[in-house]
Amino acid sequence: MAEGVQARAAAVTMLNAVLGEGQMLADLADPALAPADRARALRLAQAVLRQLEPADRALKPHLRKVPPLPVLNILRLAVVERASGAAGHGVVNAAVEIAKRGAKTRHLAGLVNAVLRAVPEGPLPGVQKLPRWMRQPMVHAYGREAVAAIEAVQAAEPPLDLTCRDGAEVAEGVALPTGSLRLASAGQVSALAGYAAGGWWVQDAAAALAVRLLAPQPGEEVLDLCAAPGGKTLQLAAAEARVTALDVSETRLKRLEENLARTGLKAQVVVADALAWAPEGRFDAILLDAPCSATGTMRRHPELPFVKDGSEVEGLVALQARLLDRALCWLKPGGRLVYATCSLLPAEGEDQLAAALARHPGLAVERAEIAGVDPGWWAEGGGLRLRPDYWAEAGGMDGFFLARLRVPR
Q: Give me the percent of the chain exceeding a pLDDT of 70.
A: 99
Bridge-based pairing of strands 400-406 and 364-366 is antiparallel
* Average pLDDT of the segment spanning 287-303: 96
Which pLDDT value is given to residue 186? 64
* Average pLDDT of the segment spanning 345-368: 96
b vs e for 122-149, b when ≥16 Cβ sit within 10 Å of the residue's Cβ? eebeebbebeebbbebbeebbeeebbeb
Which pLDDT value is given to residue 3? 60
All structural domains of the chain, each given as residue ranges with its CATH number in brackets, are: 5-118 (1.10.940.10), 160-406 (3.40.50.150)
* Average pLDDT of the segment spanning 185-189: 73
Hey, CA dihedral for 384, 388, 392, 394, is it positive or negative? positive
Beta bridge pairs of residue 331: 283
pLDDT in tens, 264-285: 999 999 999 999 999 999 999 9
Q: Give me the percent of the chain exceeding a pLDDT of 90.
A: 87
Which of 181-185, 258-262, 346-350, 397-401 bottoms out in mean pLDDT, i.e. has the lowest?
A: 181-185
Over the chain, what is the mean pLDDT? 94
Say yes or no to pLDDT of 205 above 50. yes
pTM of the model: 0.93
* Cβ proximity of 246 and 277 under 8 Å: yes
Question: Catalytic residue at 292?
Answer: no
Which pLDDT value is given to residue 169? 86
| From 164, 226, 292, 342, active-site residue | 342
User: CB count, 10 Å around CB of 228?
Assistant: 23
Rounded Cα gap, residues 294 and 303, in angstroms? 11
